[in-house]
């Protein structure tokens, strides 16, 4: 039975004391950064961390700087007791749950901008988002100093941004992606799925099917621009409201592809709204055999 | 006799191997980042490092991203053999001299912006400068992972920027400032002094006197705005060309002061050109006894 009372660090000093003790004993440490509201996707990352390191730290921090005014920072679900029990059950050794004041004390003014892979897709749709992510992840990695840090492929662009960040700033950590976990109808697990009404939830379940269909068409040799247009039409007619993007991009650097048949590994990315809920997803595309 | 053949690391891997060996043996490590063209100011920082740590790494890297187009990146003096001999004589244990390709490999795209203290003074005069500095210093600190890193007070704003950077990103390092070294006439030692003709060098020697006079007037209770205006006039009439700024600022956060008599610790900052050479200097101001 996992210990239901997961130890928690609230400050950088407490976190470093715990991690230093492990490191001093020659143990490897994994960090799984989260914003809480945990689901099976997060827990699978904790288990992946446990398979790569002796100890897993999961952070829960709803980072205000990656939300724009009018986004759901205030509404974002928070239930630490529930999250802590789930983390303990998945084999997590330490919860790191700092306050906003611990992360951003008075006078804080620094920002990390990854450029490049952070600029298309969600970088266009949410212009301040990835600088907020890159800055807080830099801090979390330097506060914890793990051997490995794990991020979900559901936020695939974020994973690429953080890989680039770690490489560019020489952060001494290995960045690993964990596969997207999906519900029975294929909907990518997301804390934001909790916002959906029953009818919205039904519509949401069609998003992954549109991506899968598009990926199959691309693998069969269809042209990028027509596949994007068809996927967009399918998503709109399924009942989504505004669609921020449906785009096929290179899997390594998110470079623009097409308009013809694919010639290198790619992924199709979507961001679309149902009511006030914004969902994102992505799907790998196999290059057609030529 | 110091070893005249100072060991040199050219890559991050070589640097980390050397530093890891020291850290594994329980030794403290100091880093002194430089752009080479070393003078007694740099060497005093190496000696300060040696008094704070068991081993001192000095980096020499003329960082292209902190120069704007039209500035002196190409002309900046480079003589590694001379620098290495000076470093060895000052007690340095390892030279870290990476190439531009080692620091900025293809695909590099990340930038660190400290905001706040990096925005006035040289932040206005050289708009891309401090982002270049903050990014390269973040990289150097994470490549070397020293216990302490040492920067000269001659570049006082840079020292404040790096202190803020280290605090904001939770870089696990102590940032120390070393006092400005001056020539017999008080000119702050700078690699750029080598650009000056004999006549320009004579004019340059008046810059620190203008600051000292201004600081004394402020300590005697003179108003900030009149002291700034007088110092500016004195510097212009001494033979300087364009003056980027002469400003009294709070010593902790570079906040604007005045216009009346000072009420908290301050410093007077100057940037001015003689011919094509841009010089900066700064001088502490004692608060008047009230």
B23 and B114 assigned to the same domain: yes
Q: Where are the alpha helices (DSSP H) in B207-255?
A: 207-219, 224-237
Query: Which residues of chain A are within 8 Å of residue B164 when distances are taken between CB atoms?
Result: 107, 109-110
Q: Which of B178, B212, B244 is the last residue of a domain?
A: B178
pLDDT at B5: 83
pTM beyond cutoff 0.80: yes
pLDDT tens-digit profile of A23-33? 999 999 999 99
Chain B nearest CA to A65, separation (Å): 14
Query: How many Å is the maximal CA-CA distance in chain A?
Result: 58
* CATH assignment of the domain containing B45: 3.40.50.620
In a mutational test of the A interface, the residue from B170, B171, B172 whose CB has the highest number of chain A CBs within 10 Å is B170
Q: How many domains are there within chain A?
A: 2
B27 and B170 assigned to the same domain: yes
- d(CA B230, CA A1) in angstroms, rounded, equals 76
A113 and A236 assigned to the same domain: no
B91 and B22 assigned to the same domain: yes
- Sign (positive/negative) of CA torsion B63, B156, B204, B182? negative
Range of the domain at B65: 8-178
Q: Has residue A108 been placed in a domain?
A: yes
pLDDT at A1: 44
Q: Which residue has the tokens 């004692």?
A: B286
Query: How many Å is the maximal CA-CA distance in chain B?
Result: 58
A156 and A223 assigned to the same domain: no
Chain B residue closest in CA terms to A114: B110
Residue A64 makes CB contacts below 8 A (sequence gap 6+) with: A73, A100, A104, A132
Q: Cβ distance B63 to B136 under 8 Å?
A: yes
* CATH assignment of the domain containing A266: 3.30.1300.10
Q: What is the CA radius of gyration of chain A?
A: 19
Strand ranges across the sheet with A148-152 = A8-9, A94-96, A55-60, A29-34, A148-152, A174-178
Q: Which of A149, A178, A207 is the last residue of a domain?
A: A178
Q: Has residue A35 been placed in a domain?
A: yes
Q: Has residue B186 been placed in a domain?
A: no
pLDDT at position A17 over 50: yes
Chain A residue closest in CA terms to B136: A169
Residue A137: how many CA atoms within 13 Å on its side-chain side? Answer: 30
- Partner-chain residue, chosen from B113, B117, B139, that has the shortest CB–CB distance to A111: B113
Chain B residue closest in CA terms to A253: B107
A60 and A22 assigned to the same domain: yes
Can you tell me the mean pLDDT for A67-95? 96
In a mutational test of the B interface, the residue from A108, A142, A164 whose CB has the highest number of chain B CBs within 10 Å is A142
Can you tell me the mean pLDDT for A94-114? 98
pLDDT at B4: 59
Chain B residue closest in CA terms to A103: B168
B200 and B73 assigned to the same domain: no
Chain B nearest CA to A269, separation (Å): 22
CB contact under 8 A, A110 and B134: yes
Query: Which run of H or of E encompasses A248?
Result: strand A243-250
pLDDT tens-digit profile of B87-105? 999 999 999 999 999 999 9
DSSP label at residue B179:
P
Q: Is the ipTM of this complex over 0.85?
A: yes
A164 and A36 assigned to the same domain: yes
pLDDT at B102: 98
* DSSP letter string, A172-197: S-EEEEEPPPB-TT-PBP-GGGGG--
A35 and A120 assigned to the same domain: yes
SS3 A119: coil
pLDDT at A278: 97
pLDDT at A31: 99
Q: Has residue A186 been placed in a domain?
A: no
DSSP label at residue A150:
E
Residue A133 makes CB contacts below 8 A (sequence gap 6+) with: A63, A66, A158, A161, A162
Chain B nearest CA to A15, separation (Å): 12
pLDDT tens-digit profile of A197-255? 999 999 999 999 999 999 999 999 999 999 999 999 999 999 999 999 999 999 999 99
Please give the structure tokens belonging to residue B213.
């006079």
A195 and A244 assigned to the same domain: yes
Confidence of residue A260 (pLDDT cuts 50, 70, 90): confident
- Sign (positive/negative) of CA torsion A144, A147, A153, A158? positive
Q: Has residue A2 been placed in a domain?
A: no
Confidence of residue A261 (pLDDT cuts 50, 70, 90): confident
Strand ranges across the sheet with B8-9 = B8-9, B94-96, B55-60, B29-34, B148-152, B174-178
Query: What's CA A69's distance to the chain center, in Å?
Result: 20
- d(CA B252, CA B271) in angstroms, rounded, equals 19
Query: Which residues of chain B are within 8 Å of residue A113 when distances are taken between CB atoms?
Result: 110-113
Rounded to 5 degrees, φ, ψ at A214 are -65, -45
Q: Has residue A236 been placed in a domain?
A: yes
A45 and A142 assigned to the same domain: yes
- d(CA A171, CA B128) in angstroms, rounded, equals 23
A151 and A256 assigned to the same domain: no
Please give the structure tokens belonging to residue A84.
């802590």
Q: Has residue B26 been placed in a domain?
A: yes
Query: Which residues of chain B are within 8 Å of residue A112 when distances are taken between CB atoms?
Result: 110-113, 169
Burial B55-78 (b: 16+ CB within 10 A, else e): bbbbbbbbbebbbeeeeeeeebbe
pLDDT at A250: 96
pLDDT tens-digit profile of B148-199? 999 999 999 999 999 999 999 999 999 999 999 999 999 999 999 999 999 9
Q: Has residue B17 been placed in a domain?
A: yes
Q: Which of B178, B202, B219 is the last residue of a domain?
A: B178
């Amino acid at each position: 039975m996992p210990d239901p009372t997961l130890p928690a660090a609230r400050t950088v000093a407490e976190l470093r004391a715990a991690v230093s003790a492990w490191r001093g004993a020659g143990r490897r440490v994994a960090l799984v950064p989260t914003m809480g509201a945990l689901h099976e996707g997060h827990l699978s990352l904790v288990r992946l961390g446990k398979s790569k390191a002796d100890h897993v730290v999961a952070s829960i921090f709803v980072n205000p700087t990656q939300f724009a005014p009018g986004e759901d920072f205030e509404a974002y679900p928070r239930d630490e007791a529930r999250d802590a029990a789930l983390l303990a059950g998945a084999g997590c050794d330490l919860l790191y749950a700092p306050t906003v004041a611990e992360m951003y004390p008075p006078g804080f003014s620094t920002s990390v901008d990854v450029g490049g892979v952070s600029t298309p897709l969600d970088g266009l749709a949410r212009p301040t988002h990835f600088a907020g992510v890159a800055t807080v992840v830099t801090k979390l990695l330097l506060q914890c100093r793990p051997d490995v840090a794990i991020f979900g492929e559901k936020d695939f662009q974020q994973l690429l941004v953080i890989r680039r960040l770690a490489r560019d700033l020489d952060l001494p950590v290995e960045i690993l992606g964990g596969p997207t976990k999906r519900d029975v109808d294929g909907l990518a697990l997301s804390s934001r799925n909790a916002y959906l009404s029953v009818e919205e939830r039904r519509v949401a379940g069609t998003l992954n099917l549109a991506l899968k269909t598009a990926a199959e068409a691309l693998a069969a040799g269809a042209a990028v621009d027509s596949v994007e247009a068809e996927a967009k039409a399918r998503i709109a007619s399924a009942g989504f409201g505004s669609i921020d993007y449906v785009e096929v991009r290179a899997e390594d650097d998110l470079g623009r592809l097409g308009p013809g048949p694919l010639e290198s590994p790619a992924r199709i990315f979507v961001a679309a709204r149902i009511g006030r809920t914004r969902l994102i997803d992505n799907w790998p595309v196999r290059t057609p055999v030529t």
